[in-house]
Amino acid sequence: MSASSSKFSTTGRSRTGEPLVWLTAVGLTIGVLLSVGLIGLVMYKGFESFWPARLVVVEVRQEGGENSKVAGYLVQERSKRTLEGLVEEEIQLFRGNRELFGEKFVFLDREAIVSQTEEEDLILVERLEGGNVIGRAKALELGGSETLEASAEGFDEKLDELTERGEELRDELREIEKIKIGENSKRVKELRWLEKKGSSPERAEELAGLLAEYEKLDGQRKELREQLEESTFVVEAMDGRELKIPTGELLHVFAANQVGFFGRLKETIRRAWTFVSTDPREANTEGGVYPAIFGTVVMTLVMSLFVTPFGVMAAIYLREYAKQGPLVKAVRISVNNLAGVPSIVFGVFGLAFFIYFLGGVVDDWFFSNSEEPVYKSGGILWASLTLALLTVPVVIVATEEALASVPRGVREAALACGASKWQAIQRVVLPASLPGILTGVILAMARGAGEVAPLMLVGVVKSAPDLPIDAVAPFVHPERQFMHLGFHIYDLGFQSPDSEAAKPMVFATTLLLISIVVVMNLTAIIIRNRLRKKYAVSSF
């Protein structure tokens, strides 16, 4: 372009910057599409895993023999290329009944399928152990030799009743095992440990009493166990073989092909509720994720409890009191860089400092009577502290910015009213910067709730049905290991013995983790907006 034209042409597109506008729009579009795609996929897959599929009976041609029938629900259809270059269409079916077939899933060649029918009387049975069962209800074997055929009157009612009874019995059993026997054996362990150091008659007496009580509880436990197995539900698989499920293990019986849209919707809601409200089963591939939700929320809240005062105080000192100079500059740069340190490094630090050092000191001082480490092992307290450390730069930076954005006039006005510097900060500057500080806390929470890597070193485990807060004295157990949704996703997806069965759970758990982070952030944002409205501060 010649000098004169560049000087005088003002209508060219490059001059007005329009191509750049397009470029920025493209950037935004890609970002939006990626986010929407991600959320959309997770939501679709997550909800899909709760939606009950129709049960079908597939008749398959067998070479040189009778056709065989398989019952189950369709998981996916796929085509694969064989070695000869032919395309084979096949479908994947969930057929359950692990003890009969070995594998819960089966691939069927499309070519070999003779027919595919939905039969009315197929049922899907959820049970405590062994995975789902698909077949036809045959009979109920009640204690003794009494049998109730599926066709008999009152069969469904009896089945419901026994399922409910099973749940009650399991609750009773849990109470005895977890709480009563748990407390008993904890005390016994303590006494035995003390006994090693030196015996005393009172201790021996208490021990004998406890052991006698244990015998009694154990008797009760056995009795309940027997009751659980008293009656059985007989289900007939498609090949005529029978499956006997003790009614004490029944969770839910669902006649998938007999309900309409609303029935299936109801089932979806029930499944979703079960998912969020119950403990995991079968190495986490079945059941719910309640302990993981609880662990995630408690850990995030405890983390915010630590990180907020710590970060705010540090920021106040840095911004308001420290003499601005090279040292403060260096500190500020270090704090900012701390936010970029890989999170696993914080995990290692947490393990070394919090668990081995601090935990060791706490154990030496307060728990020298315990044989096993109490605080000198991973726990929710140490995990929260580690994450607090990880997220403190976020709070410091946000708070510093919020403090800096309080107009100088406001500080001067406070000082002119006879306030000391601390009074001015505490009564005027901090309230005015509260919304900005909360923004920092929100960001910290979002970061903390999604962090997994460091947690693996400082207290997250695959399975921890004992929650960090429960009804057993002293009610709050900061030393306990806990479950976390992020880790749960990793565990389901990559550590599970049955990854095919765990796949829907991965999406459901992911959806849940995202929702929890969103809900916690929304809560904080609503609080912040309330504050903002109250003071109508225009900045931030």
Task: Locate 245 and state its tokens.
Answer: 């499920």
- Closest contact distance (angstroms) between CB of 333 and another protein is 22
Q: Where are the alpha helices (DSSP H) in 49-126?
A: 98-101
Question: Quick one: 242 or 412, whose CB is closer to another protein?
Answer: 412
Note whether 512 and 485 are within 8 A (CB): yes
Question: Quick one: 287 or 431, whose CB is closer to another protein?
Answer: 431
- Closest contact distance (angstroms) between CB of 530 and another protein is 12
Question: How many helices (H) and strands (E) are present in the chain, helices listed first?
Answer: 19, 13
Query: Is residue 321 a contact point for another protein (CB under 8 A)?
Result: no
Residue 114: enclosing H or E segment and its boundaries?
A: strand 113-117
Query: Is residue 419 a contact point for another protein (CB under 8 A)?
Result: yes
Sign (positive/negative) of CA torsion 102, 268, 50, 48? positive
Contacts with another protein by CB under 8 A: the residue count is 21
Backbone region of residue 498 per phi and psi (left: phi > 0; alpha: psi in -120 to 50; beta: other values): beta
Among all chains, which residue has been given the structure tokens 């629900």? 73
Among all chains, which residue has been given the structure tokens 């996929």? 41
Query: Is residue 404 a contact point for another protein (CB under 8 A)?
Result: no
- Closest contact distance (angstroms) between CB of 401 and another protein is 16
Question: Quick one: 213 or 320, whose CB is closer to another protein?
Answer: 320
Query: Is residue 320 a contact point for another protein (CB under 8 A)?
Result: no
What are 11's strand-pairing partners?
A: none
Query: Is residue 476 a contact point for another protein (CB under 8 A)?
Result: no
Question: Quick one: 419 or 453, whose CB is closer to another protein?
Answer: 419
Q: Where are the alpha helices (DSSP H) in 405-498?
A: 408-416, 421-424, 430-450, 455-458, 485-494
Query: Is residue 420 a contact point for another protein (CB under 8 A)?
Result: yes
CA 369 to CA 191: how far, in whole Å? 9
Query: Is residue 331 a contact point for another protein (CB under 8 A)?
Result: no
- Ordered DSSP codes for 137-161: EEEEE-STT-EEETTSTTHHHHHHH
Question: Quick one: 221 or 532, whose CB is closer to another protein?
Answer: 532
- From candidates 12, 209, 309, 407, binder to another protein by CB under 8 A: 407
- From candidates 409, 473, 474, 475, binder to another protein by CB under 8 A: 409
Question: Quick one: 79 or 538, whose CB is closer to another protein?
Answer: 538
Among all chains, which residue has been given the structure tokens 């701390």? 338
Query: Is residue 478 a contact point for another protein (CB under 8 A)?
Result: no
- From candidates 22, 44, 494, 535, binder to another protein by CB under 8 A: 535
Candidates 287-295, 331-339, 403-411, 445-453: pick the segment binding another protein (CB under 8 A): 403-411
Question: Quick one: 241 or 329, whose CB is closer to another protein?
Answer: 329
Query: Is residue 416 a contact point for another protein (CB under 8 A)?
Result: yes
Question: Quick one: 279 or 320, whose CB is closer to another protein?
Answer: 320
Query: Is residue 530 a contact point for another protein (CB under 8 A)?
Result: no
- From candidates 307, 403, 520, 537, binder to another protein by CB under 8 A: 537
Question: Quick one: 313 or 417, whose CB is closer to another protein?
Answer: 417
Binders of another protein among 424-453, rule CB under 8 A?
Answer: 427-428, 431-432
Query: Is residue 124 a contact point for another protein (CB under 8 A)?
Result: no
SS (H, E, C) 313-382: HHHHHHHHHCCCCHHHHHHHHHHHHHCCCCHHHHHHHHHHHHHHHHHHHHHHHHCCCCCCCCCCCCCHHH
Per-residue interface string for the shown chain with another protein, residues 351-390, x marking contact by CB under 8 A: ----------------------------------------
- From candidates 410, 469, 476, 519, binder to another protein by CB under 8 A: 410
Query: Is residue 171 a contact point for another protein (CB under 8 A)?
Result: no
Kindly give the pairing relationship between strand 133-141 and strand 122-127: antiparallel
Q: How many Cβ atoms from other residues are within 10 Å of residue 515's Cβ?
A: 16
Note whether 275 and 498 are within 8 A (CB): no
Q: What Cα–Cα distance (Å) separates residue 288 from each residue in 223, 270, 271, 379? A: 28, 12, 9, 22
Question: Quick one: 28 or 417, whose CB is closer to another protein?
Answer: 417
Among all chains, which residue has been given the structure tokens 């899907």? 124
Q: Which residues bind another protein (CB under 8 A)?
A: 407, 409-410, 412-420, 423, 427-428, 431-432, 534-537
